[in-house]
């Protein structure tokens, strides 16, 4: 039986490359491609594919929220994320949310992609080589006291002051995309779904102060 796959990415080049690699194997067929999260959610609900291969970032929705939405819409679909960040803690959070595989885009996807598909279809997790190494490092370096690095503390304190992501990026000299990633990591750390919840939880643990 042919395995049906949807590819979701904001890069046409990535979609074309992934599609060519997948369809070189007769067992797999690409039944759709999406370039925006709304398009992906609609397509997943309609086609209910066996696997969704998706980018780590879509405008308007962070990857963890996207994963939660997809699991609600298509709970039996395997999810494989293609990411430009080999961030061990993020990978850990993605797997905790139900992702089945993670491919670091700088690894050789021509070699890894079909292996990843084979692996997740056997109900086993898959990490490409660099992602696997970073994931293991993250597991070994977890701080039991809930340590936050300097960047995370700065972002948290600015969020507590009501500063928006764009201004935080300018203040810290980082990209707005990086701010979103740090914010999502903070939400995961404190078990929060919104900024307000995050700030209250962080304040309760003494990491920041609530603004009057």
Do residues 32 and 6 make contact, with C-beta atoms less than 8 angstroms apart?
yes
The pLDDT of residue 73 is 94
Q: Give the pLDDT of residue 144.
A: 43
Average pLDDT over the chain reads 87
How far is 113 from 205, CA to CA, in rounded Å?
42
What was the pLDDT predicted at 211? 63
Distance CA 18, CA 113 (A): 8
pLDDT at 76 over 90: yes
The whole-number pLDDT of residue 208 equals 76
Among 104, 139, 174, the domain-final residue is: 139
Residue at which a domain ends, from 139, 165, 182 = 139
Q: What's residue 39's pLDDT?
A: 94
Which three-class secondary structure state does DSSP give residue 49?
A: coil
Say yes or no: 65 and 169 in one domain.
no
Q: Which two tokens stand for residue 134?
A: 């970073």
Q: What is the mean pLDDT of residues 155-167?
A: 92
- Burial code (b: 16+ CB inside 10 Å, e: under 16) for 7-44 equals bbbeeeebbebbbebbeeeeebebbbbbeebeebbebb
Work out the pLDDT band at 83, boundaries 50, 70, 90.
confident
Same domain, 85 and 120: yes
Q: What is the model's pLDDT at position 78?
A: 97
pLDDT at 187: 86
Same domain, 106 and 167: no
Look at 108 and 146; give whichever has higher pLDDT.
Answer: 108
**pLDDT at 173 exceeding the cut of 90:** yes
Q: Give domain status of residue 211, yes or no.
A: no
> What's the pTM?
0.68
Chain centroid, CA 183 distance in Å: 13
How much is the CA Rg of the chain, to the nearest whole Å?
18
Same domain, 93 and 37: yes
What is the torsional sign of CA 98, 138, 62, 125? negative
- State the pLDDT confidence band at 25, using cuts at 50, 70 and 90: very high
Helix, strand and coil in the chain, % to nearest 5: 55, 15, 30
Say if residue 57 is in the same domain as residue 119: yes
* Same domain membership, residue 171 and residue 131: no
Residue 189: give the domain boundaries.
150-204
The candidate with the shortest Cα–Cα distance to 61, out of 40, 92, 87, 30, is 40
Beta strands in 35-178 (DSSP E): 51-55, 78-83, 101-104, 126-127
Instruction: From residue 7, give the alpha-carbon distance in Å to each of 72, 75, 84, 148.
Output: 18, 17, 16, 35
Q: For residue 85, tell me if it sits in a domain.
A: yes
Confidence of residue 80 (pLDDT cuts 50, 70, 90): very high
pLDDT bracket for residue 147 (50, 70, 90)? low
The predicted model gives 137-152 an average pLDDT of 66
| Same domain membership, residue 200 and residue 115 | no
Q: Is residue 120 part of a domain?
A: yes
């Amino acid at each position: 039986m042919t395995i049906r796959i949807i590819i979701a990415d904001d890069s046409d080049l990535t979609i074309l490359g992934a599609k060519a690699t997948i369809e070189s194997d007769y067992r797999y067929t690409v039944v759709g491609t999406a370039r925006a999260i709304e398009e992906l959610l609609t397509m997943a609900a309609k086609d209910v594919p066996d696997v969704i291969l998706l980018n780590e970032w879509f405008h308007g929705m962070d990857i963890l929220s996207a994963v939660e939405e997809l699991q609600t819409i298509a709970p039996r679909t395997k999810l494989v994320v293609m990411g430009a960040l080999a961030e061990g803690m993020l990978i850990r959070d993605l797997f905790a949310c139900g992702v089945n595989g993670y491919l670091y885009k700088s690894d050789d996807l021509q070699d890894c992609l079909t292996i990843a598909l084979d692996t997740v279809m056997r109900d086993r997790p898959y990490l490409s080589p660099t992602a696997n190494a970073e994931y293991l490092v993250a597991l070994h370096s977890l701080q039991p006291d809930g340590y936050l690095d300097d960047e995370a503390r700065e972002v948290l304190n600015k969020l507590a002051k009501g500063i928006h992501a764009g201004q935080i990026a300018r203040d810290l000299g980082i990209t707005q995309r990086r701010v979103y990633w740090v914010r999502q990591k903070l939400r995961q750390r404190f078990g929060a779904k919104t900024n307000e919840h995050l700030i209250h939880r962080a304040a309760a643990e003494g990491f920041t102060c609530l603004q009057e």
